[in-house]
Amino acid sequence: MIIKKDDVLQTPEALKEIESEWLQQLNGTAIAWFGRAATSLYWAYRAVLSRRVEVSQPEVILPAISCGTLANVALMAGFTPRFADIDPQTGLASLESIQSRWTPRTCAVVFVHLFGQTIELRPLAAWCRSKEVTLIEDAAQALNAQLPDSSPAGSVGDLSVYSFNPSKILECGGGALVVRSESLWAALEREFGTYASLPELDSTTSALLSLSYRNLHHALVALLRLNVGSGVSELFLRVRAAYDSLYLRPIKNSAALATAWQQRASILEQRYRKAELYTRKLADGPWQLLDGWSQSKVCWRYSLLVDFPDQLADFSEAVRRDRFHLSNLYWPTNQFFRPNDACPNADFFARRIVNLWVDNSVTPSWIEQCSSSLVKHATKIAQS
Ligand SMILES: *Cc1c(COP(=O)(O)O)cnc(C)c1O
């Protein structure tokens, strides 16, 4: 599919009002609307690279706990991804670990507001500026989240990306790239050229490729979890480009996004109440509850770190047999893309994390029963 610059870099009519209001809140210069956060990130990377042509083998630092999309798209754009370790209490990249991955080739850092949590970002932003490194905020899970100083997530980095696709806060489809300088916007326009081509994917191909990626990822995570995963990274890197066509999409339905936008506050309020309910029901278990959502006011998934990593698989299975869904979503991405960037805290975190649902698919009574199931099975494990 060939798309015209004007069709992408000009704001859709239905989003004009939203855009100007949102830019004010975020202190931004301009927004490009795409079909996915992945596409937004791809063009963010391209804009950054176009200003650093003197750097050979440019690097971007990504948090080890995030989805593989960030690194896949980085490779597509021409970046070598490097991986920073995380704070084991939150899963968020720590400033020290980001700094320790810096090299003269570092051109960008992506900070992910994981599960809706945030931290004070200004020290990271100041360090990035001092190193001429572009800071990209990934707020796909943190629409409307508040930093500790009350400014919105996505308002500190040079660029920020958002997702409105299924499983995120708004699920109507779409993604956004918020740009916070005239010169970055000019770089984006230049990189985009007059036309950009996007792969034409019919829905069958796209569904099969997505399913294949999910299965591959699950299969490889199981090997890594069992510590029998030697060669996983080589295998993954050999086939990963087969999925590239999934990541680039124009926005399809801007009117649907404009409608969903008006429901942000009430959706977040309901999610927040569900998180409070989990906290009441899960207060005394053999785990640590992540409570960053209470400060940021955004809960993407309710998350806890169990004290029994070796029994986590059995525990998850037992809860699923009671018909409650939970997930252990993220495996450290460095283990797929660059095992030599050791991230022990990410490994610690991935072996303990449990994510629970707070969206429209669950009701308060479901949450109460799910919590009882979690407590029951955790107690059994503690006694065995
Ligand atoms: C879902 C997600 C993305 C990708 O969003 P898409 O709109 O599906 O491309 C990127 N980053 C994070 C943190 C996400 O959770």
Check if the beta carbon of residue 56 is closer than 8 Å to that of residue 80.
no
**pLDDT for position 290:** 98
pLDDT of 199 higher than 80: no
pLDDT in tens, 251-286: 999 999 999 999 999 999 999 999 999 999 999 999
Distance of CA 163 from the midpoint of ligand 1 (Å): 6
**pLDDT for position 160:** 98
Question: Mean per-residue pLDDT for 15-26?
Answer: 97
pLDDT in tens, 120-132: 999 999 999 999 9
**pLDDT for position 281:** 98
**pLDDT for position 384:** 82
**pLDDT for position 1:** 67
For the ranges 95-99, 246-250, 335-339, 349-353, the lowest mean pLDDT is seen at 246-250
Check if the beta carbon of residue 76 is closer than 8 Å to that of residue 102.
no
pLDDT range class, residue 162, cuts 50, 70, 90: very high
The answer, yes or no, to whether any atom of ligand 1 lies below 6 A from the CB of 333, is no
Question: Mean per-residue pLDDT for 32-40?
Answer: 96
**pLDDT for position 4:** 74
The answer, yes or no, to whether any atom of ligand 1 lies below 6 A from the CB of 66, is yes
Q: Is 149 exposed, middle or buried (0-12, 13-18, 19+ CB in 10 A)?
A: exposed
Residues of the chain with pLDDT > 70, as a percent, come to 100
For the ranges 341-345, 372-376, 378-382, the lowest mean pLDDT is seen at 378-382
The answer, yes or no, to whether any atom of ligand 1 lies below 6 A from the CB of 140, is yes
pLDDT of 149 higher than 80: yes
Distance of CA 67 from the midpoint of ligand 1 (Å): 7
pLDDT in tens, 222-241: 999 999 988 999 999 999 99
Question: Mean per-residue pLDDT for 328-355?
Answer: 96
Phi, psi (rounded to 5 degrees) for 143? -60, 130
Distance of CA 378 from the midpoint of ligand 1 (Å): 31
Check if the beta carbon of residue 41 is closer than 8 Å to that of residue 68.
no
Hey, whose CA ends up nearest to atom 11 of ligand 1?
140
Distance of CA 41 from the midpoint of ligand 1 (Å): 9
Give the integer Cα–Cα distance in Å for 252 and 191: 22
pLDDT in tens, 277-326: 999 999 999 999 999 999 999 999 999 999 999 999 999 999 999 999 99
Question: Mean per-residue pLDDT for 2-13?
Answer: 81
End-to-end CA distance of the chain: 58
Distance of CA 113 from the midpoint of ligand 1 (Å): 11
The answer, yes or no, to whether any atom of ligand 1 lies below 6 A from the CB of 63, is no
Task: Supply the mean pLDDT for the chain.
Answer: 95
Q: Pick from 269, 268, 300, 277: which is nearest to 364 by CA? A: 277
For ligand 1, what atom is nearest to the CA of residue 39?
A: 9
Q: Pick from 36, 122, 143, 101: which is nearest to 346 by CA? A: 101
Give the integer Cα–Cα distance in Å for 87 and 70: 19
pTM, 2 dp: 0.97
The answer, yes or no, to whether any atom of ligand 1 lies below 6 A from the CB of 112, is yes
Question: Mean per-residue pLDDT for 165-172?
Answer: 96
The answer, yes or no, to whether any atom of ligand 1 lies below 6 A from the CB of 233, is no
For the ranges 2-11, 143-152, 294-303, 354-363, the lowest mean pLDDT is seen at 2-11
